[in-house]
Amino acid sequence: MAGLQSLFFFIIAIAILVAFHEFGHFWVARKTGVKVIRFSIGFGKVLFSRQKSRHDTEFVIAAIPVGGYVKMVDEREGDVSSEDLPYAFNRQPLLTRSAIVAAGPLANLLLAVILFWLILVLGETGIRPVIGKIEPGTLAAQAGFVERDEIISINQKPTPTWAVAFDELLSQALNGRHDLVVTVKTLDGDQQMRVLLLADADIQNPDTLHQRLGLKPWTPLIPPVIGKLVEHDVAEQAGLKSGDLIISADGIAIHDWQQWVNYVQGKPGANINLQIQRDGVQLPLQIVPRQETMESGQIVGKIGAGVSVAQNLIDDLKVDYAYSMVDALPLAFEKTGFYALATLKMMGNMFIGEASVKNLSGPISIAQYAGQSAEMGFTAFLRFLALVSISLGVLNLLPVPMLDGGHLLFYVVEAIKGSAVSDTVQLYFQKLGMLFLLFLMLIAMFMDLGRLFS
């Protein structure tokens, strides 16, 4: 059932993203006088088609919903009637062709702005940015942060939730800020300033900055009470039930949920003798955690049980916030710019070997994220759409033949040399581009399958 839900929302997400991308090409083509023959969402067999007359654009929904295209009048793709020659794409000025090609990726970035704006206006429920244990040697320790500090603002920008606070930290770091002035509210209610001093290496490596900062959410001590159980997993098969309180494991008293998680993870495949409390009665129980290999290669124990958290703990940490329509607009542009720059830097780091290809996600992972975000709620799904739309926009602007950025690269060469790049040269580089993209897709699929089977 979860697989079908993921597939459904994956198709919805791809349809929206492709429609926006292709509409960018279509809208600019029409505005610049280029005749569009077909606007298609999907490939393959036509499921739905609408066309006012044979002279107008045919709008199509096809059977394979993993892409789309805009087919324009173009002499390179077939015979063109004499009456349509002035409207052919290949006969347009260089600037017009460039605008049409660039419009697709830019439409994806614009969609991200719209989605972030909508999220900010609708508002979200987030976690208050209360800081947890500070590890020695981190930037947070050097700046004097103390456990239970609550981040109020960063360089005078309000940070109502952890997500906003961390986005702001990374955004300002990526923009080259070496000093981040963080206003915090202490446990006593006083406001104080802490200054995070970043080195050049921190700014150039956003994927490792998180560890260097050493800022993580504060977690209250949660009683070790079993919550939701994964069907047919170890905990359910061993006889654990929702509401059970873990008293001890192998004679060791268990005081909080994190202690219990750490104990289970350290016992993969080993028998654990439990003492639990159920309905006021203490009972013995045995459980053997299954072995699971993490991405780091470490083998840990898992039992398939979540925690039951008291509602008052949740209420103390959560916060609702929203922005006005006017205030949300610049923030939406900022968020889009931040994630676009972060995506570009991550791609660059992977290309030069400074970031792992494990960061790549293929269709399986994206489908899973689509289903999970939809299950979390409307705004979570909108955020997922915005992030994937940014990735799609940035990827398509890369100067790789077969992508929109590759066409733009040919146009730059044309502008420099004064004549178009020959069809033979374009075809050669397009084949190379196709091989590169296929190689990238195979790696992403391999990473997906590795995550799926682990």
Residues 170 and 313 in one domain: yes
**CATH (domain of 136):** 2.30.42.10
| Structure token digits, residue 133 | 């244990």
CA–CA separation, 344 and 99 (whole Å):
21
- Name 67's Cβ contacts closer than 8 Å, sequence gap at least 6: 14, 18, 42, 43
Going through 288-404 in order, the beta strands assigned E by DSSP cover: 290-293, 299-302, 305-307, 318-321
Determine, yes or no, domain membership for 368: yes
Mean pLDDT taken over the chain: 86
- CA dist 29 → 60, 87, 392, 408, 421 (Å): 17, 10, 20, 15, 22
Residues 186 and 242 in one domain: no
Residue 412 confidence (pLDDT) = 92
Confidence check: pLDDT of 170 > 90: no
Confidence check: pLDDT of 77 > 90: no
Residues 333 and 441 in one domain: yes
Residue 450 confidence (pLDDT) = 65
Tell me which residues are annotated as active site: 22
Confidence check: pLDDT of 233 > 60: yes
CA–CA separation, 59 and 84 (whole Å):
19
Q: What is the pLDDT of residues 133-142, one digit of tens each?
A: 888 888 889 8
- Give the helix ranges, DSSP H, for 190-324: 200-204, 206-213, 234-238, 257-265, 311-317
What's the whole-number mean pLDDT along residues 59-80?
87
Residue 245 confidence (pLDDT) = 94
Residues 150 and 279 in one domain: no
**β-strands 281-287, 290-293 pairing:** unpaired
User: Contact 276/283 with Cβ under 8 angstroms?
Assistant: yes
Among 66-75, 331-340, 393-402, 434-443, the least confident range: 434-443
324 Cα distance to chain centroid: 25
Residue 11 confidence (pLDDT) = 84
Confidence check: pLDDT of 172 > 90: no
User: Contact 288/269 with Cβ under 8 angstroms?
Assistant: yes
User: Contact 152/158 with Cβ under 8 angstroms?
Assistant: yes
Residues 291 and 412 in one domain: no
Burial 184-195 (b: 16+ CB within 10 A, else e): bbeeeeeeeebe
Residues 339 and 412 in one domain: yes
Residue 437 confidence (pLDDT) = 78
Confidence check: pLDDT of 2 > 60: no
Residue 89 confidence (pLDDT) = 92
Residue 354 confidence (pLDDT) = 61
Phi, psi (deg, nearest 5) at residue 161: -135, 170
Residues 180 and 293 in one domain: no
CA–CA separation, 227 and 306 (whole Å):
5
Q: For the chain, how long is the longest CA-to-CA vector? A: 89
Determine, yes or no, domain membership for 370: yes
Q: How many domains, the chain? A: 3
Residue 118 confidence (pLDDT) = 95
Confidence check: pLDDT of 4 > 80: no
Residue 237 confidence (pLDDT) = 92
What's the whole-number mean pLDDT along residues 324-336?
91
Residues 189 and 315 in one domain: yes
Residue 99 confidence (pLDDT) = 95
| pLDDT tier at 35, thresholds 50, 70, 90 | very high
Residues 278 and 289 in one domain: yes
What's the whole-number mean pLDDT along residues 239-258?
92
Determine, yes or no, domain membership for 40: no
Residues 184 and 316 in one domain: yes
Residue 123 confidence (pLDDT) = 85
| Side-chain half-sphere exposure of 191, counting CA atoms within 13 A | 7
Q: Which of 286, 321, 356 is the last residue of a domain?
A: 321
Confidence check: pLDDT of 122 > 60: yes
Residue 188 confidence (pLDDT) = 87
DSSP secondary structure letters along 402-415: TSHHHHHHHHHHHH
CA–CA separation, 6 and 370 (whole Å):
6
Determine, yes or no, domain membership for 4: no
Residues 254 and 380 in one domain: no
Confidence check: pLDDT of 1 > 80: no
* Number of neighbouring beta carbons within 10 Å of residue 378: 12
Q: Which of 244, 279, 307 is the last residue of a domain?
A: 307
> Alpha-carbon Rg of the chain, whole angstroms?
27
User: Contact 112/390 with Cβ under 8 angstroms?
Assistant: yes
Residue 64 confidence (pLDDT) = 83
| Structure token digits, residue 73 | 């009048």
What's the whole-number mean pLDDT along residues 40-44?
89
Q: What is the pLDDT of residues 354-389, one digit of tens each?
A: 655 566 666 677 777 777 787 778 888 899 899 989
Determine, yes or no, domain membership for 156: yes
The model's pTM is 0.74
Residues 194 and 317 in one domain: yes
More confident residue, 250 or 379: 250
| pLDDT tier at 289, thresholds 50, 70, 90 | very high
| pLDDT tier at 109, thresholds 50, 70, 90 | very high
- Least Cα distance to 146 among 94, 108, 183, 186 occurs for 186
| pLDDT tier at 114, thresholds 50, 70, 90 | very high
CA–CA separation, 415 and 197 (whole Å):
44
| Domain around 111 | 94-122+327-454
Determine, yes or no, domain membership for 83: no
Helix (H, G, I), strand (E, B) or coil at 296: coil
| Structure token digits, residue 218 | 């504060």
If you average pLDDT over each of 4-8, 108-112, 227-231, which comes out highest? Answer: 108-112
Residue 362 confidence (pLDDT) = 62
